[in-house]
Amino acid sequence: MKITFLGTGTSQGVPIIGCHCEVCTSTNKKDNRLRSAILIETPQANIVIDTGPDFRYQMLRAKVEKLDAIIFTHSHKDHVAGLDDVRAYNYIQRKAMPIYATLETQAVLKKDFSYVFDNPNYPGIPQLDLITISGDQPFNINGLEIIPIKVTHYQMEVLGFRIGNFTYITDANHITNEELAKADGSEAIVLTALRHEKHPSHFTLAESIEIAQSLNVGQTYFTHVSHQLGLHDLINETLPTNMQLAYDGLELNF
């Protein structure tokens, strides 16, 4: 299994429009962050988790010519806004794209992309096959088992996922011990680390470090990073040896 971080930034990305802070003006490519998403490549399937506003460019940058499915963590715009660009894969693969999402996320997709669902025979629109998932039941894509992990994002239920020995959790500020136990034993875990200051809907870096240290996991990577966290290289120097900030284009192999 190969994991590629397509984006590691928060909802506005980094740099932020009009901002002249040291992070937004950094010349280090690792300080440039598109909206958070990952690509999972296995013998069974190529899967993307979340299609934010940068989806088209992320697919071009990572040279993803085949895509078997999309999984959504939740319905916020920075995680779904690029879904229309799935049309390219419809054309290349000549079939609808399987979309794995909760009923709550599907309701938002049907509203935000109403032109897809109101007139499904209109030429040129995305072809989507909605498949319902929940936080309570594992599911599989082409034989690849995926275990949902329920987390809280302010007052919203969001899904993280465990695939084999890899766990991905973004947009969270609370995880119960029962759900967190699903990540135990992972070779690598990804957690949100928005900034240093307390936030109502995201873990701080310190909070995510504490969570990772409570688990039996190998390596920890932090994502959904804002410009408020600080420069990539300087923050990495402060982290425990088995933890680091993820960055756009980072690849993990299992």
State percent of the chain over pLDDT 90.
98
Name the residue range of residue 161's domain: 2-247
Is residue 185 one of the residues assigned to a domain?
yes
Over residues 163-178, the pLDDT tens digits come to 999 999 999 999 999 9
- Give the count of beta carbons closer than 10 Å to the beta carbon of residue 239: 15
pLDDT tens readout for residues 203-235: 999 999 999 999 999 999 999 999 999 999 999
- H helices, E strands: number in the chain: 8, 14
**Spatial CA neighbour of 52 closest among 25, 22, 84:** 84
Instruction: Tell me, yes or no, whether 180 lies in a domain.
Output: yes
In a domain, 253, yes or no: no
pLDDT in tens, 97-110: 999 999 999 999 99
Q: How many domains does the chain have?
A: 1
pTM above 0.85, yes or no: yes
CATH number at residue 75: 3.60.15.10
Residue-wise pLDDT for 122-165, tens only, equals 899 999 999 999 999 999 999 999 999 999 999 999 999 999 99
